[in-house]
Structure 1
């Protein structure tokens, strides 16, 4: 019996995320009759779309043995920039000038804001050899402060039906945010599995010194990875702002924790070099189902934070044990 169990351990480890998701869904469905409904199914998918976008970028970063703690604040600033330009433009009274922005222009400005902040993270890490934890922690504070300055501490609302369609609309019977996050996952999966960039990302996470000796431009790849993470955080900010029809100054708080949890639960090693985008999607679904289930069961928001904290701790412990075995 023990020999049989040992022989099945690799298979169990490979499908541990799916097994955890099945057990979680089964438990919640037994405790709430509202869980297994079509409306709740689409609600969960719409909610996890933002985390999927952010976590996809986080996966690329973690695969290089890095971390990005700033994604929540970058999301908030990107959403605020989009909403502010769309709603108010850029007035210049001293020059008797007003610069207005179309819907597309506002969206591009918000996403490019995320790209720029991500690029700055990568530049600071590679140029000054800063630990990613320190550099992105600084950006977390910087971006949050810039969001407060841009919004004045007040939400920006009334963004129009065309904009809110991105976060609340449907396309061929599927929510638009699900289409957007699905497209991002497909592109990221293609990059990591089929391109030279993907091979370099895994190589850096596996052994940075070996990758450098093999001729990989470590600094350039890290710059690209952090820029992509910022860009996808900007897309997440677009979806959140669109869904709420409002840019909230405190948007994105603790989103980085959900993102890291999704990445680790999905099987990506925090030491880098091992993991996949599809695994992260599974982790994001688990986090989304857990959040949804706790709400349906009327669990206090404070206890929800406690539960998610223990889930993250358990996922990291499992990751560390897996790394030691390998």
Structure 2
């Protein structure tokens, strides 16, 4: 009902404009939504060039790939709302993925990294990896909040620290850096198993876990005092402090929650990939940041919606899959990815300058 009323009000406001203002309105609308228009054109072009792009198998593949990246995206979105970022996200995914794999290797796997441990219960593994991710996020938030360091510098440092810890972890017990594979079947069934199919194509269980994460983060962002404080700090930390918000505590909690979300992605990736190594999670933060910007989470702070982040993840994944269907050179795909990020950031900043 509110949506209909808002649409009616906006239409009435538009009708009240003179001819010149109407032209400016459509000009601004076209510029602000240029990226979405180009993406829609690209999707239509890909579907025409390769009809397999719109088959049930392809659609489920896009949904599955997006679901695997949603936790890291909604985590890093909070950092961006605070006008920051998190360069350590991908390495946290890698570390937690390897920890999960090490704890959930099959008991009879010949090169099991912890042969005396057996197969650890999955709920306990989830708690362990979430705790690891949360600790990294806590460290990030602590240094940002109490030492007033820029998140770029802090997370760059923790990225290197986490990567070093990861390299040492996969060397223990004579593993010598070998990929951690041979996962227990119960772990694979829990994450990549399926209970629902679409046109005979199974939907992995982690899609439903991603839906739960989205619902949880939406509730945190929109229905809790913490969520309101996060946006207040992102918009104007000085004003938030004057109004009674504990700015330092909010920053720490946002980064801690982000770290926990990275760990969820690491847990999912551990089973999804099946063979985890030092490069697991590499550059995941780049895709997550790009998805957030495309989805309307602004680097100027205090702006963003969970549904926008989810939409950004899907749009980015659709583009990547489309490039593969069009047989675009892998090197050129990196160029296109970089251009998308650049254009999205430029459009975001332009919106901010116009409002200002």
TM-score, normalised with respect to structure 2: 0.84
Structure 2 partner of 1:291: 320
Structure 1 partner of 2:186: 162
Q: 1:33 aligns with which of 38, 45, 51?
A: 51
Structure 1 partner of 2:247: 218
Aligned length: 320
Q: Gapped runs of 5+ residues in structure 1?
A: 92-97
Q: What pairs up with 1:43-58 in 2 under 5 angstroms?
A: 43-58=61-76
Q: Gapped runs of 5+ residues in structure 2?
A: 1-18, 106-111, 172-176, 198-202
Change (3 A) 1:187 1:18: farther
| Alpha-carbon shift at residue 24 of structure 1 (Å) | 3.0
| Alpha-carbon shift at residue 50 of structure 1 (Å) | 2.2
| Alpha-carbon shift at residue 79 of structure 1 (Å) | 0.7
1-side partners of 2:191 and 2:321: how far apart? 18
Q: What CA deviation, in whole Å up to 9, does each residue of 1:45-78 have, x standing for no partner?
A: 1111122111101111111112111110000000
Change (3 A) 1:9 1:181: farther
2-side partners of 1:257 and 1:116: how far apart? 21
RMSD of aligned residue pairs (Cα, Å) = 2.0
Secondary structure of the 1:34 match is helix
Structure 1 partner of 2:11: none
Change (3 A) 1:57 1:296: same
| Alpha-carbon shift at residue 4 of structure 1 (Å) | 3.0
Identify the range of structure 1 (32-41 vs 294-303) with the bigger mean alpha-carbon deviation: 294-303
| Alpha-carbon shift at residue 31 of structure 1 (Å) | 2.1
Partners of 2:97 and 2:267 within 8 A in 1: yes
2-side partners of 1:261 and 1:317: how far apart? 12
Partners of 2:89 and 2:262 within 8 A in 1: yes
Structure 2 partner of 1:249: 278
Structure 2 partner of 1:4: 22
Partners of 1:166 and 1:239 within 8 A in 2: no
Structure 2 partner of 1:95: none
| The structure with more radius of gyration | 2
